[in-house]
C-alpha cells in the first residue's frame, strides 16, 4: 500500500512516497520536489559478512542523463564511470549515515539513489541524501536516524535554503548541512571569505530546516509501521578484553607516547604481538580476538591521555600545531611548485598553466561547460611506508582534491584578469594526518611561486575532538592516530579575513552548537599561525610568470569579424597557428585568447589578428605585397587576407602602358586607399615614393618607372590606353566602371569572405 507525506522546505513542497516502487528492497522511497524526482532504495544482507573488521556500507549516487532529457555524449551511450559530481555526492550521502548504524554491525548495507528527473531549480544532491535516509527509516534495517540535509546559500546577506543552480552562481556561500533532530552530523561547503560568525549562523539556519525534514521521515515510517530487525552485532569478548587491559595497559600507554609516527607504530605493534603471545595459553586459537582487544585498548589509552592529562601522543598540547616548513620553486621546469611540510605530513603541489582550450569539459546533471581551475590529489603508498598497487583515484582522493579546489576557488583571479587554465596537482609524499589541508597550503605556495595574483593566500587546518560522557577536548592540527581514535574530523580553510572551505565528519551521533563554535574559533587561530609561516617563505606572488609558462594575449573584435579570422574551412586560423606556433581560442562574444610558448610567437599572431580585423579607411597608406597581376591592374595584399586592386591608371602620375612594366608578383609597394565600389578596396600608387626591388638601386627604380610611362613604338598595341575600346569589345574598363568610381562612399569597407 502506498503511503505519502508532505512538508515545506524553502518555499517548496516535498513529497515522500513509499510502497509504490522498489518494493523488493528493504526500503524504497520516491522523493519529489517540483520536477525533480529521486529514488532512494536501501537493502541489507541477511547474514553478517565473515572476516570483516568494519561496517560494510556502500552508498551510490547514480546519474542518468535521461533525468535532464539528454543523450550521453561520446561513443558509449550507456554511460561510463561516475562523474566527479556523482562520486562527491556518494560521499556526501555516506558520511552522515554511517555513524547512525549500530556499533559492531557487519551485515552488508547498500543504499542507492537515482535522480529520475531533475530541474535546475531543484538540484538533486541534498534531496538524494534525504531520499537515502527516508529509505533506511521506513525499512527494517537497524538505523538510528533519520537524517535531514539542506544546502544553505547567501545572496545580499540573506540566507536561502536549497538555492537553485542560478542562485548558487550569485551566492557567496555554498554550505551543505546534514544532521538529525538533535545535532549536526556533517558539514561540506565553500564561502567567499566569510567570517566564522556568519558560517555559524548559516549552520544554525540550516539545522532548523533539518528538524522538519526528520519529522516528515518519522511520520512516514510510522504510517507504514516500520519495525527494525535485530541483527547479530560483533563484540569483543569481555573476558579477553579484561585480560588484555590487565596485561598490556601500561605498555600500550608508554608506546603511544612516542612523537615519531613510525617508531610509535612499531612500538604499538610490538606490544600487540607480545600480549598475543602472553595470552596464547589462556585463549588458544583466538589470536585475532586478542589483537582486536589490544587495538581497542590503544584507543582507550589515547583518549585517556588527552582527556585526563591534556597531552597528545606526540607530546603536544591540544591547541599546539606541529612544526611547519615551506619551500617554493623546487622544480625548475614547472610553472610553479610548493612543498608544505607539517610534522610528518608532507605534500608537494605543482601548478601547470595552459590555454583556455585546456579547460576540463564538465557534463553532469547539474552543469555543462568548462572548468579552467582544477585541483587533483594523489595519495601515494610510500607516504605511509606501505606497498600497494597504484590504481585510479578513489572516492577519498577525489573528495580531498575537491575540498582543496574549493578552498582556493574564490581567490584565483577570474578569466578576464588571468586568461589561463590552471591545473594543480598535489602529491602526498608523507602522511600523518591532515594531508588535504596540507595540499591547500601547498597549492597556495605553488600559485604564488608561479606569479598568479591570487586575491589573498589561503591556509587550511584539520581539527579533532575527543569526548566521553562528561568531557571533551578540541584538538588543533590532528595527526593520523588522533583522527583514527577520535570523534570528529573538522577541516577549515581560509584567509586572514574569513573561511573559504569547510568539511566536518563525525563518528558519534552529532556535534553541538558550542563545540562547532569553539572549533571554528580555534581553527582561525591555527590558520593565522600557518599563514604567517607561509608568508615568511613567499610574502607575495612573484612579479612575473615562469619563463616556461605559456604567454596569453587577449584581443576583442566585433563578433561579425570572427569569420575573417577563421577563414573558409578554418584556412586562415590554421595558417596563423602554423606560422606563429600560437593557439587561438575564439569566443562567441568576440574575445580571442592567443596562447604561445614564447612571447614573440604570440605577438606575431596578435598583430595578424589585428590586421585581419582592422577597418580599412579611405586615405590610409599601406605597404602591401603584389599577389596577382592582370592586364588592367595589380592586386595588392595590404593586410593578411585583405587585398585591393591598383588600376593601371593609378600606378603613376603619368600614363602607364603595361602593368608588368611597373610591378610584378611579390613586389612590395606603397598604396593609398582611394574611392571605389562599395564593398571593394581600390588602391592608388600615384604620388607615393616606392621602394626598390631587392638588388635594385634607386636610380634603376626611377629608370624603370620612367620607362613604364614612355610612349610605345608606333604600331604596338597600347594595353592601357585602349582599355575603353577593349571593354566595348568584351574586355577592359568601360564607362560603367568609371561611373562606379565617381559614386563611392566616404569610407571604403573591406570585402569579407562569408564564414562557411
**Model confidence at 161, in pLDDT bands (50, 70, 90)?**
very high
Residue 293 contacts residue 236 (beta carbons within 8 Å)? yes
As for how many domains the chain has, the answer is 5
How does pLDDT run across 121-137, given as a tens digit for each residue? 999 999 999 999 999 99
Average pLDDT over residues 244-266: 92
Domain annotation covers residue 300: yes
Sequence-ordered strand ranges (E) for 517-566: 551-556
**Model confidence at 192, in pLDDT bands (50, 70, 90)?**
very high
Average pLDDT over residues 321-346: 96
Average pLDDT over residues 306-325: 94
Question: How far apart are the C-alpha atoms of 631 and 392, rounded to whole Å?
Answer: 69
How does pLDDT run across 265-281, given as a tens digit for each residue? 999 999 999 999 999 99
**Under 8 Å CB-to-CB from 699, ≥6 apart: which residues?**
none
378: alpha, beta or left? (left if phi > 0; alpha if psi -120 to 50):
beta
pLDDT given at position 81: 84
Residues 714, 578 share a domain:
no
User: Who has greater pLDDT, 681 or 152?
Assistant: 152
Q: Does the structure show a pLDDT above 50 at 191?
A: yes
Q: Does the structure show a pLDDT above 80 at 495?
A: yes
Residue 488 contacts residue 464 (beta carbons within 8 Å)? yes
Which domain CATH number covers 641? 2.40.50.140
User: Who has greater pLDDT, 536 or 557?
Assistant: 536
**Model confidence at 714, in pLDDT bands (50, 70, 90)?**
low
Greatest CA separation for the chain: 133
Residues 179, 58 share a domain:
yes
Domain annotation covers residue 230: no
Which domain CATH number covers 605? 3.30.1370.10
Q: Does the structure show a pLDDT above 60 at 354?
A: yes
Q: Which domain holds residue 412?
A: 324-537
Question: How far apart are the C-alpha atoms of 125 and 146, rounded to whole Å?
Answer: 17
Residues 334, 305 share a domain:
no
Residue 290 contacts residue 279 (beta carbons within 8 Å)? yes
Residues 199, 259 share a domain:
no
Q: What is the pTM of this model?
A: 0.83
**Model confidence at 368, in pLDDT bands (50, 70, 90)?**
confident
Residue 552 contacts residue 585 (beta carbons within 8 Å)? no
Residues 646, 714 share a domain:
yes
Domain annotation covers residue 315: no
How does pLDDT run across 636-656, given as a tens digit for each residue? 998 877 889 999 999 988 888
Average pLDDT over residues 721-730: 40
How does pLDDT run across 586-615, given as a tens digit for each residue? 988 999 999 998 888 999 999 889 888 887
| Residue 146, preceding peptide bond in cis (omega within 30° of 0) | yes
Among the three residues 610, 632, 653, which one is the final residue of a domain in this structure?
610
- Classify the C-alpha dihedral 362-368-369-373 as positive or negative: negative
Among the three residues 285, 309, 333, which one is the final residue of a domain in this structure?
309
pLDDT given at position 147: 97
Average pLDDT over residues 223-240: 93
Please provide the distance, in angstroms rounded to a whole number, between the alpha carbons at the two ends of the chain.
61
How does pLDDT run across 75-131, given as a tens digit for each residue? 788 877 889 999 999 999 999 999 999 999 999 999 999 999 999 899 999 999 999
Residues 364, 244 share a domain:
no
pLDDT given at position 50: 87
Q: Does the structure show a pLDDT above 90 at 233?
A: yes
Percent residues over pLDDT 70 in the chain? 94
**Model confidence at 392, in pLDDT bands (50, 70, 90)?**
confident
Q: Does the structure show a pLDDT above 50 at 729?
A: no
- Classify the C-alpha dihedral 632-638-644-650 as positive or negative: negative
Least-confidence region, from 17-21, 37-41, 316-320, 709-713? 709-713
Q: Does the structure show a pLDDT above 50 at 756?
A: no
Identify the residue whose cell numbers are 553532469: 364
Residues 493, 403 share a domain:
yes
Residues 87, 45 share a domain:
yes
Average pLDDT over residues 471-496: 95
Q: Does the structure show a pLDDT above 60 at 719?
A: no
Average pLDDT over residues 403-430: 95
The dihedrals phi and psi of 441, each to the nearest 5 degrees, come to: -65, -40
Residue 440 contacts residue 458 (beta carbons within 8 Å)? yes
Question: How far apart are the C-alpha atoms of 755 and 569, rounded to whole Å?
Answer: 8
Residues 58, 167 share a domain:
yes
Report DSSP state, residue 569.
Answer: G
Residues 295, 331 share a domain:
no
Tabulate helix, strand, coil % of the chain (nearest 5): 35, 30, 35
Report DSSP state, residue 583.
Answer: E
Domain annotation covers residue 233: no
Pairing mode of beta strands 682-684, 642-647: parallel
Among the three residues 480, 510, 537, which one is the final residue of a domain in this structure?
537
Which domain CATH number covers 292? 1.10.10.400
pLDDT given at position 735: 40
Average pLDDT over residues 366-384: 91
Mean of per-residue pLDDT scores for the chain: 90
Percent residues over pLDDT 90 in the chain? 71
Cell of 163: 538555492
Domain annotation covers residue 277: yes
pLDDT given at position 70: 86
User: Who has greater pLDDT, 446 or 663?
Assistant: 446
Closest CA to 580 of 588, 592, 572: 572
Closest CA to 641 of 737, 559, 741, 574: 574
Which domain CATH number covers 433? 3.30.230.70
Give the CA dihedral 295, 298, 299, 305, nearest 10 degrees: 180
Closest CA to 687 of 621, 618, 616, 617: 621
Report DSSP state, residue 511.
Answer: B
Q: How far is CA 187 from the centre of its chain?
A: 20
Residue 659 contacts residue 704 (beta carbons within 8 Å)? no
- Classify the C-alpha dihedral 570-575-581-584 as positive or negative: negative
Domain annotation covers residue 749: no
pLDDT given at position 715: 52
Per-residue HEC secondary structure of 345-412 comes to EEEEEEEEEECHHHCEEEECCCCEEEECEEEEEEECHHHHCCCCCCCCCCHHHHHHHHHHHHHHHCCC
Side-chain-side CA neighbours of 747 within 13 Å: the count stands at 5
Domain annotation covers residue 115: yes
**Under 8 Å CB-to-CB from 587, ≥6 apart: which residues?**
593
Domain annotation covers residue 9: yes
Given strand 583-586, what is the order of strands in its sheet? 551-556, 591-596, 583-586
**Model confidence at 721, in pLDDT bands (50, 70, 90)?**
very low
Question: How far apart are the C-alpha atoms of 352 and 373, rounded to whole Å?
Answer: 10
Q: Does the structure show a pLDDT above 80 at 722?
A: no
Residues 79, 206 share a domain:
yes
pLDDT given at position 712: 60
Residues 660, 513 share a domain:
no
pLDDT given at position 703: 84
Question: How far apart are the C-alpha atoms of 26 and 36, rounded to whole Å?
Answer: 23
**Model confidence at 700, in pLDDT bands (50, 70, 90)?**
confident
Average pLDDT over residues 472-488: 94
* 3-class secondary structure, 24: coil
pLDDT given at position 419: 92
How does pLDDT run across 9-44, given as a tens digit for each residue? 999 999 999 999 999 999 999 999 999 999 999 999
Amino acid at each position: 500500500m502506498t503511503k505519502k507525506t508532505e512538508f515545506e522546505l524553502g518555499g517548496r513542497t516535498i513529497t515522500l512516497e513509499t510502497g509504490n516502487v522498489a518494493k523488493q528492497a528493504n526500503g524504497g522511497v520516491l522523493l519529489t520536489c517540483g520536477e525533480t524526482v529521486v529514488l532512494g532504495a536501501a537493502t541489507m544482507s541477511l547474514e553478517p559478512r565473515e572476516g570483516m573488521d568494519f561496517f560494510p556500507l556502500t552508498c551510490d549516487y547514480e546519474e542518468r542523463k535521461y533525468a535532464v532529457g539528454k543523450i550521453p555524449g561520446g561513443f558509449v551511450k550507456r554511460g561510463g564511470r561516475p562523474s566527479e559530481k556523482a562520486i562527491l555526492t556518494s560521499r556526501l550521502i555516506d558520511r552522515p549515515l554511517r555513524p547512525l548504524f549500530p556499533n559492531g554491525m557487519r551485515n552488508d548495507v547498500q543504499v542507492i539513489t537515482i535522480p529520475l528527473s531533475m530541474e535546475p531549480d531543484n538540484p538533486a544532491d541534498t534531496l538524494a541524501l534525504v531520499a537515502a535516509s527516508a529509505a533506511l527509516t521506513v525499512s527494517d534495517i537497524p538505523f538510528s536516524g533519520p537524517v535531514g540535509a539542506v544546502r544553505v546559500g547567501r545572496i545580499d546577506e540573506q540566507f536561502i535554503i536549497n538555492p537553485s543552480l542560478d542562485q548558487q552562481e550569485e551566492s557567496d556561500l555554498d554550505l551543505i548541512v546534514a544532521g538529525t533532530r538533535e545535532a549536526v552530523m556533517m558539514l561540506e561547503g565553500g564561502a567567499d571569505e566569510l567570517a566564522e560568525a556568519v558560517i555559524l549562523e548559516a549552520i544554525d539556519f540550516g539545522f532548523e530546516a533539518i528538524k522538519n525534514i526528520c519529522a516528515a521521515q518519522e511520520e512516514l515510517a510510522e504510517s507504514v509501521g516500520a519495525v527494525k530487525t535485530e541483527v547479530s552485532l560483533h563484540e569483543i569478548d569481555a573476558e579477553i578484553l579484561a585480560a588484555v587491559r590487565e596485561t598490556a595497559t601500561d605498555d600500550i600507554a608508554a608506546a603511544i607516547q612516542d612523537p615519531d609516527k613510525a617508531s610509535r607504530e612499531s612500538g604499538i605493534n610490538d606490544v600487540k604481538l607480545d600480549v598475543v603471545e602472553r595470552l596464547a595459553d589462556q585463549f588458544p586459537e583466538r589470536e585475532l580476538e586478542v589483537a582486536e582487544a589490544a587495538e581497542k585498548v590503544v584507543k582507550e589509552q589515547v583518549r585517556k591521555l588527552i582527556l585526563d592529562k591534556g597531552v597528545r601522543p606526540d607530546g603536544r598540547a591540544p591547541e599546539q600545531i606541529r612544526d611547519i616548513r615551506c619551500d617554493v620553486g623546487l622544480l625548475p621546469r614547472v610553472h610553479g611548485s610548493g612543498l608544505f611540510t607539517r610534522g610528518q605530513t608532507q605534500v608537494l603541489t605543482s601548478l601547470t598553466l595552459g590555454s583556455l582550450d585546456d579547460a576540463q569539459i564538465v557534463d553532469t546533471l547539474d552543469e555543462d561547460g568548462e572548468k579552467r581551475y582544477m585541483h587533483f590529489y594523489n595519495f601515494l603508498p610510500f607516504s605511509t611506508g606501505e606497498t600497494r598497487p597504484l590504481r585510479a583515484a578513489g572516492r577519498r582522493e577525489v573528495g580531498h582534491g575537491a575540498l582543496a579546489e574549493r578552498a582556493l576557488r574564490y581567490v584565483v583571479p577570474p578569466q578576464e584578469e588571468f586568461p589561463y587554465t590552471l591545473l594543480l596537482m598535489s602529491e602526498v609524499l608523507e602522511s600523518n594526518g591532515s594531508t588535504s589541508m596540507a595540499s591547500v597550503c601547498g597549492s597556495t605556495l605553488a600559485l604564488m611561486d608561479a606569479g598568479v595574483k591570487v586575491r589573498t593566500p589561503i591556509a587550511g587546518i584539520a581539527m579533532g575532538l575527543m569526548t566521553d560522557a562528561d568531557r571533551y577536548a578540541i584538538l588543533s592540527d590532528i595527526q593520523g592516530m588522533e583522527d583514527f581514535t577520535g570523534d570528529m574530523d573538522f577541516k577549515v580553510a581560509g584567509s586572514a579575513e574569513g573561511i573559504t572551505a569547510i568539511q566536518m565528519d563525525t563518528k558519534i551521533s552529532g556535534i553541538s552548537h558550542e563545540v562547532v563554535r569553539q572549533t571554528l574559533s580555534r581553527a582561525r587561530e591555527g590558520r593565522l599561525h600557518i599563514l604567517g609561516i607561509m608568508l615568511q617563505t613567499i610574502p607575495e606572488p612573484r612579479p612575473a610568470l615562469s619563463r616556461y609558462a605559456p604567454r596569453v594575449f587577449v584581443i576583442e573584435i566585433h563578433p561579425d569579424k570572427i569569420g575573417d579570422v577563421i577563414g573558409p574551412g578554418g584556412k586562415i586560423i590554421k595558417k596563423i597557428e602554423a606560422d606563429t606556433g600560437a593557439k587561438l581560442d575564439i569566443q562567441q562574444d568576440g574575445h580571442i585568447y592567443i596562447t604561445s610558448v614564447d612571447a614573440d610567437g604570440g605577438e606575431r599572431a596578435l598583430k595578424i589578428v589585428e590586421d585581419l580585423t582592422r577597418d580599412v579607411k579611405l586615405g590610409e597608406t599601406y605597404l602591401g605585397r603584389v599577389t596577382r597581376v592582370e592586364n588592367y591592374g595589380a592586386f595588392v595584399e595590404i593586410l593578411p587576407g585583405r587585398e585591393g586592386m591598383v588600376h593601371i591608371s593609378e600606378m603613376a602620375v603619368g600614363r602607364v602602358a603595361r602593368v608588368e612594366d611597373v610591378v610584378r608578383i611579390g613586389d612590395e609597394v606603397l598604396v593609398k586607399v582611394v574611392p571605389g565600389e562599395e564593398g571593394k578596396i581600390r588602391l592608388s600608387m600615384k604620388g607615393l615614393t616606392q621602394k626598390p626591388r631587392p638588388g635594385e638601386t634607386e636610380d634603376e627604380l626611377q629608370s624603370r618607372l620612367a620607362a613604364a610611362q614612355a610612349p610605345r613604338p608606333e604600331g604596338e598595341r597600347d594595353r592601357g590606353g585602349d582599355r575603353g575600346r577593349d571593354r566595348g569589345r568584351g574586355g577592359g574598363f568601360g564607362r560603367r566602371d568609371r561611373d562606379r568610381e565617381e559614386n563611392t562612399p566616404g569610407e571604403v569597407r573591406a570585402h569579407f569572405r562569408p564564414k562557411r
